Each structure stands twice: as structure tokens, then as C-alpha cells.
Amino acid sequence: MNKELQTYIDAIPAVADAAGRKETFWINPKMVPEKEQNITLVQPDQITDAKKRLERFAPYLEEVFPELKETGGIIESELREIPGMKDFLNTAYKTGIEGRLMLKMDSHLPISGSVKARGGIYEVLKHAEDLALESGMLKETDNYRVLAEQRFLDFFGKYTVQVGSTGNLGMSIGIMSAKLGFHVIVHMSADAKQWKKDLLRSRGVEVIEYADDYCAAVEQGRKNSDQDPMSYFVDDENSRNLFLGYSVAGERLEAQLARQNIPVDADHPLFVYIPCGIGGAPGGVTYGIKQIYGDHVHCFFTEPVNACCMLFGMATGLQDKVSVKDFGIDGRTDADGLAVGRPSAFVGRVVEPMLSGIATIEDKKLYDLMRGLLSSEEIFIEPSSCAAFAALIRPEELTAYVEKMGLKEKMKQATHIAWATGGNMVPEETRKAYLTMGLA
């Protein structure tokens, strides 16, 4: 390890713990009040643009995905209160959670069963729209249902979409791109589960497997795409389009909370916990929610101990200039959707003034939490999704943050949302195997 990294270990306790592969809880010292934030990399009006684009595509999505009939082509998940899980956490982990505990069930999003159905599908739709508008085959005033016609399948079939993935992003990009007619290539890292590769191949997607990690798969995918003028690369490390697709979740969440008569204001704080891989999904969701609730919402990323790249990037300020491997950590984790060794610099810089903190969790506890949610609520989510509970099971550190923010007297009126990022498409035999893992 070089001397510069050692100085961060010596100066920042959370970095020292993370480098020692210990569970940790980092409170972001660079978070500032909303009025002091100066974010230029993305703008709130871009969320509005993304929202309108998804509405234009709704008739098409309703046409080609029967599961979207009920919502009129809108891809959204349930927000459900989980009092049984709250009792489980308070008993098993002595968390002392006050207020409501809710689950944002992106684990059950239509089409691809993960949070990636937001950003991943959005970016593919935007690319398809750009091509169709440029060709003159489509106008924004058209009913986008026409995109299901054979002439568009033939048109998109001339183009390729490529992406590097540990699994869930590849699922969203692959399923959506193939449905539109694109030739799709998903470059999958060694961490990707076999069932995800098999499912993609069954949908006509070309899957290229790598023995190396996520970053290597992305790098090779980018190189492949750059060599083909008809290819478009979905760049999870730097994509604003992915980020904006995720950010639409903020307005959607606001409507769901309103329908359930759950206030969010100075006396009713909102805490949101989102599993983090490279950062695109949690970063976009955080940005979108903060545009709605400002200082009344407190967002935390959660990561596996062996792949805590965003913690290293943000706590040191080095962003994507540092990898978990620089600290002697291999990045291997059962939380395949979070198995990323180097964070997105774009996301890190956007959320730096607004993120409350980052908590890390051991793989073994992911399985315990998965079983706890299943037994208490009859809800299954995949192990990586269970990282959403990582901050809640560190009550001392979370309480320290609450006291720092002057919220101790308001926690009985607080709402906690664990963002479940995937799991609905996990095959039954894999679910059964998961339920026996992590047991002593």
C-alpha cells in the first residue's frame, strides 16, 4: 500500500476499519444544507425531461409487456410498511427503531425485477428514441405504441447495444434492448450469477463472460463498442442518462408517501437506505429524493465489506482514483449486484454535498436479514438487497448521526425506507439455496 493511502487510514477511522474489512459506518463531513449545495453536473429540469420521456414510452411498454397493463405502461414498485421486520431488527439486532419502517420494493419492479429497471431501461429507451427521431421514423407527438411494429424492429436490428454488468444492469439493458430489436451484448464479470446469464441468453442476448471483476468487464465492453460505429455503450461508470432514469424515483416516492398520508417535514424526518455498487442507482435515487424533500430527507448508501468502493472513494476524496484492491481487498462478495471495486466519480461528485453517510455489512448478515424479512413479512429479496438494512443494524452510529442533526426528539415520527434493489426474478432453486447460506 502506498504512503498516500496510509495517511487516509491513519486520519479517518472509517477508512481504517474498512481497510481492515470491518463493518463500519461513515458520516459524510462534506454534507451541507440544501441552500449551500452547488451541483452543476446535473440539473433538476433534467429529471422533468426524463419523466416526460418515460410517459411518452408508456403506451409502447404497455403494448409489449403485459405486466404493465395495470399501470398503463409505468414501471413502478410498491412502497410497503414492514412492521414485522421492524420487530425482527429490534429483537435480533437491538436496533431500537422508532417510527415507521418501510420497504421500497424495487426488488419487484416489472420487466427485470431490480432497481436497474429504472435507469437501465430508461437509457435504452432514450437511445431508441434518439435513433428513431433522427431517422425521421418517429415524432415526439406520435403514439409510441408504433415502436412495436415490425418496421421498427427491423430498424433497431441494425444497431448494437453493449453494457458491462455484474448482473442486474445487464438484465435490464438486455431484456429491454432485445425487446426493441437491438442486437445486445452483455459483458458479465466473474461475480455474475449463472441464472442471470442463462435468462439473458434465453431472451436472445449475447453474453460474454469474464474471469475478472466488474471494472474489467466494463473496460472490455467499452473497447468492443468503440470499435463498432453502429454500437452504443451503456457506461455505468459515467452515464448521466442512467442517473436521470433513477432520479425519477423521487417524484414517484413523493406520490406514494402522500397516498399513504405519511408526512415528510421538519418534524417528520425521512431516512432512506440504498445498496450501492458503482453508485449510479443509489446516486440517482438520492438526487431525485433530495430535490423533493431537501434537508428533511437523510440518505445513506450501504455496501458489502469486501466491495466498499464508494466509501473509499468519498471518504478519501479520491473518488474513482482509488479501488478496494488498493487496500488489499479483492472485491469478492455474495452480494453480486454490489461487487464493484471502483466507484463512479460522476456520482460521487454529485452526491458529495447531500449524502448523509455510508454503512458496510458482512455477507453472512445479508443471509440472516434475508431470512428475517421472509419469515416476518413473507417477502423475498436477494442477498445484495438486504444490504439496505446495514445502517439500521448499527444503532449506536445511527443514533450519533441523529443527535448530530438535532433529530433525537423527532424519531418517533420518522419514516425509514429500506430500498430493496432486486430479487423477484431469482429462480426457486436458487432461493432455496440462499436460505441455507450464512448459517453457522
The 10s digit of each residue's pLDDT in 373-387 is: 999 999 999 999 999
The 10s digit of each residue's pLDDT in 103-144 is: 999 999 999 999 999 999 999 999 999 999 999 999 999 999
Q: How big is the CA angle at 419 (ends 416 and 422), to the nearest 5 degrees?
A: 155
Q: What percent of the chain has pLDDT over 90?
A: 90
Q: What percent of the chain has pLDDT over 70?
A: 100
Return the pLDDT at 237: 83
Return the pLDDT at 238: 87
Mean pLDDT of 303-327: 97
Q: Please give the Cα distance from 3 to 17 (Å, whole number).
A: 17
The 10s digit of each residue's pLDDT in 146-156 is: 999 999 999 99
Return the pLDDT at 117: 95
Mean pLDDT of 180-200: 91
Please tell me what DSSP assigns to residue 298. Answer: E
**Residue 91: which residues within 8 A CB-CB, separation 6 or more?**
none
Return the pLDDT at 440: 62
Residue 177: pLDDT above 80? yes
Determine contact, residues 278/306, Cβ cutoff 8 Å: no
Torsion of CA 255, 261, 267, 273, to 10 degrees: -50
**Residue 59: which residues within 8 A CB-CB, separation 6 or more?**
73, 143, 144, 145
The CB-side HSE value for 244 (13 A sphere, CA atoms) comes to: 22
The SS3 of residue 88 is: helix
Q: Which helix (H) or strand (E) holds 270?
A: strand 270-275
In order of 72, 74, 256, 421, the CA distances from 67 in angstroms are 10, 10, 20, 19
Q: Please give the Cα distance from 430 to 113 (Å, whole number).
A: 15
Residue 439: pLDDT above 80? no
All structural domains of the chain, each given as residue ranges with its CATH number in brackets, are: 3-42+69-112+246-434 (3.40.50.1100), 115-242 (3.40.50.1100)
Return the pLDDT at 398: 97
Mean pLDDT of 385-399: 97
The 10s digit of each residue's pLDDT in 412-426 is: 999 999 999 999 999
pTM check: above 0.85: yes
How many helices and strands (H and E) does the chain possess?
17, 11
The 10s digit of each residue's pLDDT in 37-93 is: 999 999 999 999 999 999 999 999 999 999 999 999 999 999 999 999 999 999 999
Residue 229: pLDDT above 70? yes
The 10s digit of each residue's pLDDT in 209-219 is: 988 878 888 88
Residue 247: pLDDT above 80? yes
Q: Please give the Cα distance from 361 to 249 (Å, whole number).
A: 25
Residue 1: pLDDT above 80? no
